[in-house]
Amino acid sequence: MQILFTLVAVIAAAAWGGVDSPLPGSILAGGAAAFLPALVYARIAYARRRISPAELMRAHFIAEAVKFLLTVVIFGVVALFFKNMSVPALVIGYLVAASAYWFGLLSKN
């Protein structure tokens, strides 16, 4: 759902600001800063099935720490290497993708 929300925001930004503007790329980078760490979190937290609750909690703590650090690294890489970024669009892309988590909690499926 995060990837879908990000792609919709990228398409909307391209339609609004144009494909050559920094808006679509900035929103895509912001969305990637949300959904890539979330994918890594899921891989770490749910790598093993049928483990004790203590081990599961430990896996979630480790996954959350890795997710946080990866998010910081992605924002740092974007800031260092992509000078033509729109910072507001970058943040909007991140928030749009992160909001998918809350919509997922509200959905019945």
The confidence band for 109, taking pLDDT boundaries of 50, 70 and 90, is low
Task: State which amino acid sits at residue 55.
Answer: E
Q: Is the pLDDT of residue 49 over 90?
A: no
Q: Is the pLDDT of residue 105 over 90?
A: no
- Give residue for tokens 């033509």: 84
Q: Are 33 and 71 in contact (CB under 8 A)?
A: yes
State the angle between helix axes of 87-106 and 22-45 in degrees (0 to 180), rounded to the nearest 10: 40
71: tokens are 């998010």
Q: Is the pLDDT of residue 108 over 80?
A: no
Q: Is the pLDDT of residue 76 over 70?
A: yes
pLDDT in tens, 85-102: 999 999 999 999 999 988
